[in-house]
Chain A
């Protein structure tokens, strides 16, 4: 077991400025050299479970996203949401601990120009989108974190329902009213899980968008937060079955 390190801001900044010069390292090498100088990092009290880290891998053509989400969430036990918004954590992981996974999951284009912007997007974690959607590792942790709040399903079940279709996932994440409200999020993901086991109709792009739109309308005049969970469930069911 080792400890989580945060890459110093100045190192993150240097790496971001020197992507082009480091292209070979991103493609075939590593950044282990940075570890030889401890002043490049800030220690934290949090453990990394190496056994879980080793499970984070792409399996041939299979992206293995559910397992990767589960593993990164288990690999970093006890980290706070505050720390999970820190680009220094994710840059450390994509450059040191999980560089082989990052380049397998997000293959670096041959064209140098495209490679630079691709690396900046998936190997760094700048801004909210960078952390939630683009960084090869942070996106896995945040998806697991959101799904860990779902009540009535295991984390694996909710991740399976949540990750089945990217448009559905984006629709949930981009609507804070749904993604932050545990009762509402749980009701929606449970409905998705049921649909996944059945005809998968809720995953149809237009269908799911209209459900979310309807929920948005309902939430515009009623404060879901004060309703009983069974009432929220009823509203979600009504929206999901409305033609």
Chain B
């Protein structure tokens, strides 16, 4: 059941953007983390409606979260009398957008439900519910799963050689699945060798990779839809979404620092501080 702020139910449902209840609120928070092939999900249901909480306490209603993934046809239903629900899922079962829809749902007959702050426009003070009826619903929370999302963004960067470029000159190509940093053969050899050394890697991270990330983010800000289907575009968009960053409202160089986990820190810790 999709959350739709314009939808009307034939009975009061406690929802955001609705005045079915004049005072009470129902909110959920969803946190997820990934490790060793598993996704851990923690969902917290909160309502200020004493009447709805009471229904959960007496066992006629439950907190319910439906976790679904369109790409893998995965669906799991978490039903609990506890506000806090934790569950682990196999990473193999999820890919792309994962939705969490949360509700308080009648699981047994409730013959006469009433609450002090139900909108008077319903014209009656008591409502009968049967199993499956939604009593409260929160907005859908979406997060994205892809193995690349748990790797550094530089995992979608490729070094590509072109001998049309002079020594030291480089270009960026955003039209392929990975971001291509194009350099000439001798520079590629030097950089490939440097990547085997940790300290050198930090220098590269703060030079060409950082510049390439800034350029890519700037393009996403200007022409985002052109890159949605590219792997690098998906990884950038989804890492920005999952981390709660603001693509439109943040300068590209600041966003690049966040996505790359502040690369200047490692340069300072391992090279500058020891100089």
Chain A residues at the B interface, C-beta cutoff of 8 Å: 9-10, 13, 80-85, 126-128, 145-146, 149, 176-177, 179-182, 219-227, 231
Can you pick out 8 interface pairs between chain A and chain B where the beta carbons lie within 8 Å of each other? A81-B93, A81-B94, A176-B68, A221-B9, A221-B133, A223-B66, A226-B62, A226-B107
* A181 & B75 in contact (Cβ 8 Å cutoff): yes
Contact B1 A223 (CB under 8 A): yes
Q: Given known contacts A82-B92, A82-B93, A85-B96, is B79 in contact with A226 (CB within 8 Å)?
A: yes
In angstroms, Cα B72 to Cα A81, docked, is 5
Interfacial chain A residues near B132, Cβ < 8 Å? 222-224, 226-227, 231
Task: Report the contact-size class of chain B (Cβ under 8 Å from the partner).
Answer: 35 or more
Q: Is A223 a contact of B73 with CB atoms below 8 Å?
A: no
For B72, the chain A residues whose CB sits under 8 A away are 81-82, 84-85
Which residue of chain B lies nearest to A185 when distances are taken between CB atoms in the complex?
B73
Cα A229 to Cα B94 with chains together (Å)? 25
Which residues on the A side are within 8 Å of B174 (C-beta)?
Answer: none
Asked if B226 lies at the interface with its beta carbon under 8 angstroms from chain A, I say no
User: CB-CB < 8 A to B149: which residues of A?
Assistant: none
Does B70 have its Cβ within 8 Å of any Cβ on chain A?
yes
Residues 87-109 of B, flagged 1 when their CB comes within 8 A of A and 0 if not, give 00011111110000001010100
In the assembled complex, which residues on chain B have CB atoms less than 8 Å from the CB atom of A10?
176-177
Q: Is the CB of B9 within 8 A of A82?
A: no
- Are A223 and B134 touching (Cβ within 8 A)? yes
Chain B, Cβ-Cβ closest to A176: B70
- Contact status A223-B70, CB under 8 Å: no
Contact of B1 among A82, A83, A126, A220 (CB under 8 A): A220
Given A226-B62, A226-B107: A9 and B178 interface contact (C-beta under 8 Å): yes
Q: How far is the CB of A208 from chain B (nearest CB, A)?
A: 20
Question: Which listed residue (A82, A83, A176) contacts B94, Cβ 8 A?
Answer: A82
Is the CB of B71 closer than 8 A to any CB of chain A? yes
Chain A: minimal CB distance from B53 (Å): 18
Determine the distance from Cα of A146 to Cα of B62 in the docked complex, in whole angstroms: 29
- In the bound complex, do residue B73 and residue A126 qualify as a contact, i.e. CB atoms below 8 Å apart? no
A181 to B69, alpha carbons, bound, how many Å? 11
Q: Which residues from chain B sit less than 8 Å from chain A, CB to CB?
A: 1, 7, 9-10, 62, 64, 66, 68, 70-75, 77, 79, 90-96, 103, 105, 107, 131-134, 147, 176-178, 229, 231
Nearest-Cβ distance from residue A235 to partner chain B, whole angstroms: 9
Q: Give Cα A13 to B232, complex, Å.
A: 14
How far, in whole Å, are A123 and B10 apart by their CA atoms in the complex? 49
Closest-by-CB residue of A relative to B145 is A82
Residue of A126, A127, A145, A227 ringed by the most chain B CB atoms within 10 A: A227
Which of B9, B62, B75, B229 has its CB near the most chain A CB atoms (within 10 A)? B75
B178's nearest neighbour on chain A, judged by CB, is: A9
- 8 new A-B contacts, CB < 8 A, other than A13-B176, A180-B68, A224-B132, are A13-B177, A81-B95, A82-B92, A82-B95, A149-B73, A220-B7, A221-B134, A226-B64
Decide if A80 touches B92 in the complex (CB within 8 Å).
yes
A228 nearest in chain B by CB position: B131
Question: In the complex, which residue of chain A has the Cβ closest to the Cβ of B77?
Answer: A225
Nearest A-chain residue to B103, judged by Cβ: A223
Q: Which of A9, A82, A83 contacts B177 (CB 8 A)?
A: A9
B131 lies within 8 A of A227 (CB):
yes
Shortest Cβ distance from A222 into B: residue: B132
Which residues of B are found within 8 Å of A85, using beta-carbon distances?
71-72, 95-96
Q: Which residue of A lies closest to B75 (CB)?
A: A180
Q: Looking at the complex, which one of A82, A127, A220, A226 makes contact with B77 (CB distance below 8 Å)?
A: A226
Residues of A within 8 A of B7 (CB): 220
